[in-house]
Chains A and B, each alone.
Chain A
Amino acid sequence: MSVTIPAIAEGFARPDFPRNAWYAAAWDVELKHELLPRTICKQSLILYRAESGKPVALEDACWHRLLPLSYGKLIGDTVVCGYHGLRYNAEGRCTHMPAQETINPAACVRSFPVTERHRYIWVWMGDPALADPALIPDLHWNHDPAWAGDGRTIHVRCNYKLVLDNLMDLTHETFVHGGSIGQLAVAEVPFSTTHGENMVEVARWMHDVEPPPFWAKQLGKPGRVDRWQIIRFEAPCTIAIDVGVAPVGTGAPEGNRSQGVNGYVLNTITPETDTSCHYFWAFARNYRITEQSITTELREGVSRIFHEDEIILEAQQRTIDANPGRVFFNINIDAGAVWARRLIDRMIERETPPALAAE
């Protein structure tokens, strides 16, 4: 491992994301006993499952001549460089060098802490000593037997914070997703914003409204509803949104949701570069959970809805790129997004040396 201090490697530029955090790198089913190259937080990685099934994440660059190890082969748990055959074990230690009887003890590639949880493979990009699995964001609905669902990954050509902005305020549903989940109330009903040390919550209750087509179908009952959207952000980039409807007067706002339908939109957005991200999402529901056809239908339906977001987000990034120096303006609805960005900034500040933070 050679250059080690991210701040130095980036020429003292302040990073756009914290490094001391778990980032989703892949779906559990994506990771096999083969090399999967993926860039996370501007760091090229190779990911694979060891023969034991345990996930491994190594820097995707041979120590010797920097050929990406993803050009090589996985033999057993050993990565063999595709250029001169140097071998690395799952810890990133070099175990073989051609034509010499010893191994240079400096030879290794950086290995990253990696954990599997909530159907994702998580990597820790910062100080390995701080990589506590208890800090993995809560997305338990993905595997909780009381819930059913599935999701996908969207590779979005935009900065990850634009996706966070998008999810921290759902006003846009009215305008971007008018045919499915949007309705005027989402844009007009007031909301409350609260924040903690590493979480932000934006809650919006729409009382006594006509359900939009998507929710009318899920509920399967006629009549007006109470509709809720409770957005929970967990710094730096995970958002679980508690959504649902219940017939008016059945007590949902007071806490009894038994007559309604409830879903969770689960999102975790991993920075890839400054202008691209891996957006992992899933939709989990707590009704008709044994019906696989609904799981598939919902996954496809949400895919179509999120494609509408993708078009917006990428167009936004293109405009940002074309107008360097232009800033965003905030309005009332952006409170949640502003808090999310502030908590991210705090995390970055905590891991940036003081004099750099002042710049």
Chain B
Amino acid sequence: MSVPAGFRLATVRGTSQPAEDARLIELVPPEPPVPYPLGSHIDIELIIDGRPVRRSYSLVGEGPHGNVYRICVKRLPDSRGGSVAMWALAPGSQLPISGPHAHFDLALGRAEYLLIAGGIGITPLYGMALSLARRDAPCRLLYAGRRRSLLPFIAELESKLDNRLELFISQEGRRLDLAAEIARLHADGELYICGPVALMEAAKRAWAEAGRPTERLRLETFGSSGHRPAEPFRVTVRDYGKTLDVAQHQSLIDALAAAGIDVASDCMRGECGICVVDVIAIDGAIDHRDIFLSNRQKEESARLCACVSRAVGHVTIDTGYRPSLRRS
């Protein structure tokens, strides 16, 4: 197996299923695992449809578990293909990893912490919650999902967090009131949130409406869940004169690349904004799945992040390619 620069081969030691559609994967790196900051992730390179793609997965727990790093992957049949490949891993499988990297680290010594997890978004928050509870720091973990059986780590969290944990399970009739929870938080408190993009957008809105400073709201995205289920859509690209179909499990940027249309990108998580393209026309709707564009910009829908966002129907985009841009 070829290992890209900056990556190294890790071996799957075991897998288990902490929730209905969640798989816990234990990875043994070639070197002894080292302690990592809470909220860290590793990057993994996968081959999907014959092309290498990179995905980021949060590390589960306060530190390495013995000699393994643990990640937890939700099965998303309509995702960009990563989860299907990850679910195919078995003990002994090898795959290139890099990291741990910390982009979502927990700042210590804050007046109070509010942690909000939506479903599989628990992965980076799990270790944070355990650590804060162990230090007896003022914190609450609000854990939301559709059904109890879909939420990993409930038992461990209940035993270690006690009344710091609150579950919001919509099937059981309990819904999260973001504005009310933010209002309860200490004026200098911080909110750490990870979950579906709709939850994070709602949290951003509620946070801004409460007049709280942006830098005290910390988000982690895993760039795959949208406002609506993924479905195939059609895209026309200005100046290439091409129209192509993006499959259900394919990302827009991957579909473009497969058709020879290059879009510069970096984080592949909908954070940095490098892959933003202009939307010229939309017959249908854009499903914005990034956190780079503001809510206002998403309503305007003049641009979209090609790495994670999708469309329904037929969208015409401009990647900025101009064949005429050349020395005459």
Listed in ascending order, the chain A residues whose CB lies under 8 Å from chain B are 1-5, 7-8, 12, 89, 91, 93-95, 100-106, 108, 111, 127-129, 353-356
Contact = CB atoms under 8 A, between A and B. Distances in A.
Contact of A5 (B35, B131, B292, B293): B35
B272 A104 contact: yes
A12 B31 contact: yes
Given A102-B293, A104-B272, A129-B135, A4 B36 contact: yes
A8 B215 contact: no
A4 B105 CA distance: 10
A2 B32 contact: no
B254 interface: no
Interface string B160-172: 0000000000000
A356 B216 CA distance: 37
Contacts of A12: 31
Contacts of B37: 1, 4
Query: B35, B215, B273, B292 — which one has the most chain A CB atoms within 10 A of its CB?
Result: B215
Contacts of B214: 95, 103
B294 A93 contact: no
Interface string B262-276: 000001000111000
Contacts of B107: 91, 93, 111
Given A5-B34, A104-B271, A354-B32, A93 B297 contact: no
Given A1-B37, A1-B102, A355 B32 contact: yes
15 contacts: A1-B105, A4-B40, A5-B34, A8-B34, A93-B107, A93-B216, A100-B273, A101-B294, A101-B296, A102-B291, A104-B271, A105-B219, A105-B291, A129-B131, A353-B34
A106 B296 contact: no
A178 B167 CA distance: 75
Nearest to B192: A105
Closest A-B pairs by Cβ, 3 of them: A106-B103, A101-B294, A355-B32
Contacts of A104: 267, 271-273, 292
B100 A4 contact: yes
A97 to B, nearest CB: 9
A2 B99 CA distance: 9
Nearest to A129: B108
B220 A105 contact: yes
A16 to B, nearest CB: 18
A127 B131 CA distance: 13
A100 B35 contact: no
Interface string B207-223: 00000011111111000
A2 B31 contact: no
B126 interface: no
B104 interface: yes
A90 B320 CA distance: 38
Contact of A106 (B36, B104, B131, B294): B104
Given A4-B102, A95-B214, 5 more contacts: A1-B105, A8-B34, A91-B215, A101-B297, A127-B35
Interface in B242-299: 267, 271-273, 291-294, 296-297
